[in-house]
Amino acid sequence: MKLRRLLANNTFMLAAAFVVAVLFGGFPEVLGVKNSNISLLSLGIMMSLSLISLQFRGLDVRAHRGAMFRAFVLSFVVSSGVTIALAHLFQGDLRDGWIMVAAVPSAVSVIPFTYMLRGRLEATLVSSAALYMVALLLTPLITLLFLGQAVSPTTVLWYVAVLILLPTVISRFLRPLNMKDETRHIIINIAFAALVITVVGTNRGVSWANRSCSSPC
């Protein structure tokens, strides 16, 4: 039971995953499965399990207008504005990377986080879906203005389908399993840990390179 308590502990799992990623890097590529594939699968698992408890029958999107407006302001006004300002402190690929971060909406991982922290899951899902719909216009516009080349709306639409629509459908098939909250929490934590390892681990080399170049090279 002690192992289950550790696996259900968000702080322990994320901290352990970060340490593993820094020390050993991302997952080794096996049978053509890349870290990007693992991160996408991890997000899908987290989303599917987080949405099990939601009831979509009778969902009133208009009741969440305030949440959608706040999400838009925080994501595409505050966050994007600050990130674009930071981008001008850098040059080359680093600047372009900051611009790409500014151009996309908040990560869908806010939905599993909301579930684990017992927040307003329905409002978060509706707001995230609305942000990605708005991103079909704003993401290509921001990248065109600051990078000179627009991201295809089809790319954004693909992520909407894979990371929001597909997990939502899968969650309906998982509902009859009556999975215990602790079990769902543990699986989501493991998926989160895998996501951290893929993201931090694959970028470890960049971090070490920047660190080494901070001294005279």
Q: How confident is the model at residue 113 (pLDDT cuts 50, 70, 90)?
A: confident
- What tokens does 44 get? 């899908």
CA-based radius of gyration for the chain: 19
Give the single-character DSSP code of 27.
Answer: P
Identify the H or E element spanning 113: helix 110-116
Alpha-carbon distances, residue 35 vs 13, 129, 160, 190, 203 (angstroms):
19, 25, 20, 15, 11
pLDDT at 53: 83
Task: Name the band, by pLDDT with cuts 50, 70 and 90, for residue 28.
Answer: confident
Distance (Å, rounded) from C-alpha 8 to C-alpha 105? Answer: 28
Please state the rounded mean pLDDT for residues 137-159.
89
Cβ–Cβ < 8 Å for 196, 17: yes
Averaged pLDDT, 51-64: 85
Name which of 22, 19, 44 is nearest 163 in CA terms: 44
pLDDT at 21 over 70: yes
Instruction: List the one residue out of 181, 174, 169, 135 whose CA is nearest residue 154.
Output: 135
State mean pLDDT over 145-152: 88
159-214: pLDDT as tens digits = 889 888 999 999 999 999 888 888 999 999 999 999 999 988 887 765 545 554 44
Tokens describing residue 161:
């389908």
- What letters, b where the CB count within 10 A reaches 16 and e where it falls short, cover 90-108? eeeeebbebbbebbbbbeb
Of 50 and 208, the one with more pLDDT: 50
Q: Are the beta carbons of 152 and 6 closer than 8 angstroms?
A: no
Residue 217 banded pLDDT, cuts 50, 70, 90: very low
pLDDT, residue 58, reads 78
Query: What pLDDT, on the 0 to 100 scale, is given for residue 214?
Result: 44
Q: Whole-model pTM?
A: 0.81
32-51 average pLDDT score? 90
DSSP string, 131-170: HHHHHHHHHHHHHHHHHSSPPPHHHHHHHHIIIIIHHHHH
**Worst-scoring range by mean pLDDT, 34-38, 66-70, 193-197, 199-203?**
199-203
Question: What tokens appear for 210 in the block?
Answer: 């920047």
Q: What percent of the chain has pLDDT over 70?
A: 94
The DSSP bridge partners found for residue 33 are: 30
